[in-house]
Structures are given as C-alpha cells and as structure tokens.
C-alpha cells in the first residue's frame, strides 16, 4: 500500500476522534456538588459571563444538530437527577433511542433540509421553553446541521404545511444558486420562529446556556445553526430582513422566491422592536460557549503528523477558512502540487516572489479555460503560507526525499445555476475530482516514478451532499492513462459521486455523529 494512503486513513480517523461530541462536553462542563461549572475560555465574545450556576431539579435541555445524540447523552450524565426534561432532534440517519436515557429523541431533516418531522419535534421544544420560569436553567446543545432540525417556519400564511413548502423552495433555490453557509443561514434564520436568537427569547426569564460545536468558517455565533441562542440578533429584525434581501439580490433570485416570503421580508424591514424583546434584551441571562470547531480537528491532525508520520519533514496548516467554489479550490491545489513536483525534479526553479507565483498560477488556470479572477484569494493564501516558506525552499531543493503535507478546513460551494444536466455528488467529491483532472493533465508528460501523492477533501459529518459518502480521494498512479474528456464530462455535470464509484475511491465512514465542516489533506512523498 502507498505510504500516503496509509497515513491518510490514519489522519482521517484522528480528525473525527478529535471532535467526539461527548468528549467535547466533558472538556467544557463539570457538575460539582450541584453547581454546573463551565470553562470561561470557551465563551463567545460579547456575552454575559455565566460560568457557574446552581441546579436543583430545574434543568431543561434541547439538543439539535448532527452532534446532538452524543452531546445530549453526555450532558444528561453530568446533570443527573436535576434534568427535568430533555428533547433531542437528530438527523434521520442516526439512532433515536438510548435505553438508559430519559431524553426524548426525535429525527428529521432528511438530506439536510427541514421537514415535517423536524417541525413536529421543534414544536415540542417551543412548548417546553415557552413555559420556563426565572428559576429554571435551559441548556441548548447546538451543532452543525441544526438549521434543518430546529425548524419552525414563520407564519407567512395561515397554512402551516404551505409555510414549510415555500420555505423549502427558497432554501433549495439558494443552494442551487451557490449560496455559502453564511448567505444561506442569513436568509433562513429570518424565516424561522426559533432562529436568530428567538429560542433564547422564548426561554426567558430562565437562564440559557448554549454549548456550540461550530461547522461555520470563523465561528460566527449568529450563523451556526442560524444562531438560535444569539441574543443580540433578536433586537434588529428589520436589519436581519435587510441582510436577507441583500443576499437574495446578490444571487439574483429575489424575484424568483415565493411571493409570500418576499412580502414577509419587505414588511419586516419596516417593523419596530417589540416591547417584550426590549425587556428581554435588558434582562436576558444568555451565555454561549464554543466547545468545538474546525480548528480543533486540523490541530489534531497536525499533532498526529508531528508525533507519527511526518516528524522531520514539512507540514502546513493552510487555513480553517477555505471557501470559494469547490472546483476552483481543487484546481489550485492541483496546480500547486504539480509545481512542487516540478521544483523537486528541478524542471523549474523555486518561485521567488508573489507576483511571479500569481502570474504562473493564473496562466495555468487560463489554459484550463477558467476566469482566473475567481481564484485570487485562494492563490494568495497558498503563496503566503507555502511558497514564501524558507524551510520548504531549502528542503525541496535538496537531494533528499521529503514528506510534504498540507491540511486545511472550511466550506466551499458548488454552483449549479447554469448546469442543464445535474448528476450526483457533493462539494468534497467535486473538489477532489477537480484536483484529479488538473493534476493528471499537468503531469501527463512528466512521469515521476517515485512520487507518492494523495489528495482528499471530506466532510467531518460523514456526509457530502445528497450521498452516503463523506468525500473522495485521489492517489497518483503513473501508469493510469488520462481520459481527459471523461473527467471533463463528470465535472461539467457535477457527477463526481458516480465517477468515484466507478473508480472505487469514495470515502465511506457513515454518519460520524459530529460536524465541524470540511477538511482537506494533501500528502506528497517525493
């Protein structure tokens, strides 16, 4: 087996284990003599400080998201007899029973979209928190995927089923138009009775403690699961509606969404602040804690590399904020890998300055028929983190073999707005396919017999798009004959899943029960 392939599957395992939701809860909360103590270092900025609170048969809990099962069970152990009621809403493909738990488990959100099941479960949470008193403690366990599971559409019309239907139409239109997670949650949070801080508002006057595992770039509280306990979001419904309309205008779909939703948002802009909301803002007792994120997983990979695999060689944590279109990112990873191989083989010289690097990368991109302006940010990131590194320059210029590794994380998009025939896949599979096409095409006349290279992008939740795969991987094979047109066809139709099924290179983990967005691993032994 390839050393890169062996190391990759070890790093995949390490990354998922590092974000185990039960362990993250244990790391952040303790029960000492019926006093809950929480780690101050995890508190989001601009929060009221609540790092300890007494509990006595007065705790109510709601968990929602892809990590809800593990978070809820561990928190139940910590709270013990003081838990009065707990409700957890899980993805449809996760278990919904635990024989030793008194938590009520529900499932919904098929293919990461709100549905009738998630609405029914959310109504139970709505009813529970609406009856809390100032002596109660409400604990919200929030994780990625929660936007589809904590779902209760606003009353756009008197028909509840129709309200869900038109909200779904709007969400699907956003996704098809290439909306990133920030844009998506900016809009859908305005269309909900429990998002944008409204869950913590409903729980008032109880004390609300929210423990959050982030799946969003840079961990903005108001965006993670659409910010159900982000108290300050409640106060400006008009500004939130303005932002939502700006997103819809930017994507050129404001006139395409259902009229009832468009009218709802326009009316919301002119609404004043409700006196009850003003009272909540003056007296709220809400504190959010960030207990897990993408950075945690990438740091665990870096530690494993340091300990086991690449102790004497070159490794980079590129970024935890990788965005842009998946194909664009895959192409830049592919071009960068090709350049490194060529430098090592002394076919080209080390690229000394940023301008030369930018021009070279853009020339390759233009040769592939793409607009190089779309790649500006990711090109700059690669140069500043990798090609300006003197240690790499020294080692890649030597005669010795080296092991090279790049780790990154974030969330990219797939824009299918101009695609007539859409296949099956997800952003991670699409990025990996773009890498494969780019790298194999560039290497067509540059065989390297000793090259051991693997690239992969995968979702930490084990699910990539509407597929049962977490992602895919590419492993360099000098003997494989490039079928350029086949790769182009699969890319153009966004049909990466079927390509990797054909080539047996899907990553199948099953649902991991956690979610900190996507991870990329590039390993080169040369």
CB atoms within 10 A of CB 481: 7
Q: Which H/E stretch holds residue 87?
A: strand 83-91
Q: Where are the beta strands (DSSP E) in 411-498?
A: 452-459, 471-475
> pLDDT of the chain along its 526 residues, tens only?
799 999 999 999 999 999 999 999 999 999 999 999 999 999 999 899 999 999 999 999 999 999 999 999 999 999 999 999 999 999 988 876 776 788 999 999 987 899 999 999 999 999 999 999 999 999 999 999 999 999 999 999 999 999 999 999 999 999 888 888 889 989 999 999 999 999 999 999 999 999 999 999 999 999 999 999 999 888 778 888 999 999 999 999 999 999 999 999 999 998 877 888 888 989 999 999 999 999 999 999 999 998 865 556 899 999 999 999 999 999 999 999 999 999 999 898 888 788 888 889 989 998 888 888 888 888 999 999 999 899 999 889 888 889 999 999 999 999 887 777 789 999 999 999 999 999 999 999 887 778 999 999 999 999 999 999 999 999 999 888 889 999 999 999 999 999 999 999 999 999 999 999 999 999 999 9
DSSP string, 389-419: -HHHHHHHTSSS--EEEEEEEE--B---TT-
CB atoms within 10 A of CB 307: 10
All CATH 3.40.1480.10 domain ranges of the chain, comma separated, are 295-525
DSSP string, 95-146: ----TT--PEEEEE-GGGS--HHHHHHHHHHHHHHHT--TT-EEEEEEETTH
CA count, 13 A, side-chain hemisphere, 198: 22
CA–CA gap between residue 212 and residue 141 (Å, rounded):
6
- Under DSSP, is residue 224 helix (H, G, I), strand (E, B) or coil? helix
CA–CA gap between residue 21 and residue 352 (Å, rounded):
44
Interacting residues of 317 by C-beta distance below 8 A, sequence separation 6+: 298, 299, 302, 407, 408
CA–CA gap between residue 286 and residue 423 (Å, rounded):
44
0.85 exceeded by pTM: yes
Both tokens of residue 159?
């028909």
Report the relative pairing of strands 471-475 and 452-459 from DSSP bridges.
Answer: antiparallel
**Taking the C-alpha atoms of 407, 413, 418 and 424 in order, what is their torsion angle to the nearest 10 degrees?**
80
Which residues are paired to 413 by β-bridges? 325
From 525, 526, 512, 523, select the one nearest 14 (Cα to Cα).
512
Q: What's 201's DSSP letter?
A: H
Report the relative pairing of strands 518-525 and 403-410 from DSSP bridges.
Answer: antiparallel
Query: Which class is 32-152+198-220+283-292 in CATH?
Result: alpha beta
Q: How far apart are the first and last CA of the chain?
A: 16
All CATH 3.40.50.10180 domain ranges of the chain, comma separated, are 32-152+198-220+283-292
174, 184 Cβ separation under 8 angstroms: yes
From 422, 474, 482, select the one nearest 446 (Cα to Cα).
482
Fold of 295-525: glycerate kinase, domain 1 (3.40.1480)
């Amino acid at each position: 087996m390839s050393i890169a392939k062996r190391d990759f599957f070890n790093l995949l395992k390490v990354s998922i284990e590092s974000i185990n939701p039960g362990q993250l809860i244990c790391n952040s909360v303790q029960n000492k003599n019926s006093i809950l103590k929480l780690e101050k270092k995890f508190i989001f900025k601009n929060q009221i400080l609540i790092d300890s609170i007494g509990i006595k048969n007065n705790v109510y809990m709601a968990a929602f998201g892809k990590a809800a099962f593990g978070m809820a069970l561990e928190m139940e152990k910590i709270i013990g007899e003081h838990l009065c009621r707990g409700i957890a809403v899980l993805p449809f493909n996760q278990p919904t029973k635990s024989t030793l738990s008194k938590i009520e488990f529900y499932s919904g959100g098929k293919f990461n979209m709100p549905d009738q099941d998630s609405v029914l479960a959310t109504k139970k949470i709505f009813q529970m928190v609406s009856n809390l008193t100032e002596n109660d403690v409400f604990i919200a366990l929030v994780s990625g995927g929660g936007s589809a599971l904590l779902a209760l559409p606003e009353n756009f019309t008197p028909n509840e089923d129709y309200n869900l239907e038109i909200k779904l139409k709007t969400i699907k239109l956003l996704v098809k138009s290439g909306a990133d997670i920030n844009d998506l949650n900016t809009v859908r949070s305005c269309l909900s009775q429990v998002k944008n801080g409204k869950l913590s508002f409903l729980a008032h006057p109880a004390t609300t403690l929210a423990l959050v595992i982030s799946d969003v770039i840079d961990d903005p509280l108001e965006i993670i699961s659409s910010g159900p306990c982000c108290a300050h979001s409640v106060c400006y419904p008009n500004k939130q509606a303005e932002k939502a309309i700006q997103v819809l205008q930017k994507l050129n779909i404001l006139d395409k969404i259902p009229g009832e939703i468009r009218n709802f948002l326009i009316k919301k802009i002119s609404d004043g602040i409700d006196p009850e909301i003003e009272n909540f803002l003056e007296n709220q007792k809400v504190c959010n804690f960030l207990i897990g994120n993408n950075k945690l997983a990438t740091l665990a990979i870096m530690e494993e590399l340091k300990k086991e695999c690449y102790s004497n060689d070159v490794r980079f944590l590129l970024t935890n904020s990788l965005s842009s279109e998946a194909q664009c990112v895959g192409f830049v990873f592919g071009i960068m890998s090709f350049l490194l191989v060529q430098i090592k083989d002394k076919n080209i010289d080390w690229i000394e300055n940023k301008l030369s690097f930018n021009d070279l990368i853009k020339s390759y991109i233009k040769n592939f028929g793409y607009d190089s302006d779309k790649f500006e940010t990711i090109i700059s990131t690669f140069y500043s983190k990798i090609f300006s590194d003197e240690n790499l320059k020294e080692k890649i210029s030597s005669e010795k073999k080296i092991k090279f590794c790049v780790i990154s994380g974030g969330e990219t998009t797939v824009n299918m707005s101009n695609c007539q025939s859409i296949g099956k896949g997800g952003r991670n599979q699409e990025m990996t396919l773009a890498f494969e096409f780019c790298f194999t095409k560039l290497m067509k006349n540059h065989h390297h017999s000793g090259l051991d290279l693997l690239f992969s992008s995968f979702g930490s939740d084990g699910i990539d798009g509407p597929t049962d795969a977490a992602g895919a991987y590419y492993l360099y094979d000098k003997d494989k004959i490039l079928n350029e047109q086949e790769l182009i066809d699969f890319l153009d139709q966004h049909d990466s899943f079927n390509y990797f099924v054909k080539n047996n290179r899907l990553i199948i983990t099953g649902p991991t029960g956690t979610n900190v967005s996507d991870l990329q691993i590039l390993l080169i032994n040369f």
